[in-house]
Amino acid sequence: MYLMRLLITLWVWIGLAGAALSGEPGQSWTTLFDGTSLTRFVHDPDHWSIGSDGVLQPRRGTGGTSTLRQYGDFILELEFRIPQHGNSGVFLRDGRVEVQIFDSYGATKLDKHMCGAIYYAQEPSTNACKPAGEWNHYQITCQGSRIGVVLNGAPIIDMDLDRWTEARKNPDGTTNWYDTPLRDLPRFGPIALQNHGEKAQFRNIRVKPLSPPKPRPNAPEPRIVDDWEILFDGQNFEQWNVDNSWAIRDGIMHCLGRAQPITTKDQFGDFTLEFEFNPPPRSVGWAAGGVRLGPLWVVLGEMTAEAALSEEVCGAVWRCLAPQTRPSVQTNVWNKCQITRRGMMLTVAINGQVVTELDRSLWTEARKNPDGAANLIGQALRDLPRESTIGFAAPLRYRNVRIQQHQN
């Protein structure tokens, strides 16, 4: 048993190291569920809900929820919690291979239906399930024909699909319910969570693609021009969460009054964002617009000649850092902005001039800047998530929004 666990551990770590060194696209983690929205999933709102504590849970019925994108080779991490006798699962690729979630705590007999098993196909090497009501952690690696599962830090599955050469039969001679040999199943598809009618709960779901993901059939393909993904081209709001407070007129994104920020459906890690903005007169201070990156707000608006450089003027990161260089901005005309986020660094350039450079690693306390002044961020900037949505705030108008994502 010890030797088996050692071999599984070695395979998982070798696979992860190989992925990190391969230079394949998608080296950074993508947050699939952060406790606030299901924008990366296809789901029935009658079946799934997000609790006030940021936990994803089924409401009723048996409809699952699956990712908008399809994944081939990847590392998936998530936490799950189930009640006594609870039952759920994680479906991989084409939706037939299931990593079982089940209240198996204390079971001494290993079988193909317990927590951590590849359902009906392979039992885990050990029972690492925690008691009902406690949070468990899965790390699931799919790479080629290999599937590895680590439950609560214990490697429990090292599966080679190529060994499943017969329909409805496992290599050990037991039967399964797959009418196709597992080696012949598609190795690309969405990731899905099962709603088995039990009160299973999920949180902190993220994926690290080891091969490029693809949109699902009939889902809109990101429009790529010269290696830039077009987020807004003046035609529609397909890639945005939007209500009736925002409209498109003459190819321009603008708000109808004091609206909430419009935000992207996707979250982004390291990137360069480019767009044009048109500020009205007196768009300063709380009346300014700008770009929201999670809790951070890059201020954009009018910059008068007499205005002092502060944490509230155009180019600033609101209440955190004033621009180091005075931006040259005109009202009622189109200005260009480029925002780059790489690791801890956030750089803002306006009309071709870098005006602000913020190093998040220097912000080590919540609600406090390095110079001792207070800010409104309830977390140290250095500890903020690496990914966030991108939002645009009223009252400015915006156009020609595009993004170029960077690998870690």
The matching CATH number, chosen from 1.10.10.10, 2.60.120.560, 3.60.70.12, 3.30.9.10, for 224-406 is 2.60.120.560
Average pLDDT over residues 13-37: 56
> Which amino acid, residue 378?
G
Q: Tell me which of 2-11, 181-190, 238-247 is least confident.
A: 2-11
> Which amino acid, residue 184?
D
The per-residue b/e assignment along 312-326, b for 16 or more CB within 10 angstroms, e otherwise, is bbbbbbbbbbbbeeb
**Using one digit for the tens of pLDDT, what is the confidence trace for 183-208?**
999 999 999 999 887 789 999 999 99
**What is the 8-class DSSP label of residue 32?**
E
Give which of 236, 302, 239, 232 is closest to 274, Cα–Cα.
232
Give which of 349, 377, 164, 332 is closest to 274, Cα–Cα.
349
Q: In this structure, are residues 72 and 187 in contact, taking their beta carbons and an 8 Å threshold?
A: yes
* pLDDT range class, residue 213, cuts 50, 70, 90: confident
Rounded CA separation 60/82 (Å): 15
Structure-block tokens of residue 353: 């001039």
Q: DSSP for 168-215, please give it.
A: TB-TTS-B-S-SS-GGGS-S-B--EE---SS--EEEEEEEEESS--EE
Structure-block tokens of residue 364: 């080590």
- 2-215 and 224-406 in the same fold: yes
Rounded CA separation 27/8 (Å): 23
**Using one digit for the tens of pLDDT, what is the confidence trace for 386-404?**
788 899 998 899 999 999 8
Average pLDDT over residues 160-186: 94
Give which of 260, 333, 246, 252 is closest to 292, Cα–Cα.
260
Q: What pLDDT does 45 receive?
A: 67
**Using one digit for the tens of pLDDT, what is the confidence trace for 345-390?**
999 999 999 999 999 999 999 999 999 999 999 999 999 987 888 9
Q: For the chain, what are the domain ranges?
A: 2-215, 224-406
Is the model's pLDDT at 117 over the cut of 50? Answer: yes
**CA end-to-end distance (rounded Å), the chain:** 37
In terms of pLDDT, which residue wins out, 283 or 173?
173
Is the model's pLDDT at 54 over the cut of 60? Answer: yes
Instruction: Identify the bridge partners of residue 214 per DSSP, sorted by sequence position.
Output: 70
Q: 2-215 adopts what CATH topology?
A: Jelly Rolls (2.60.120)
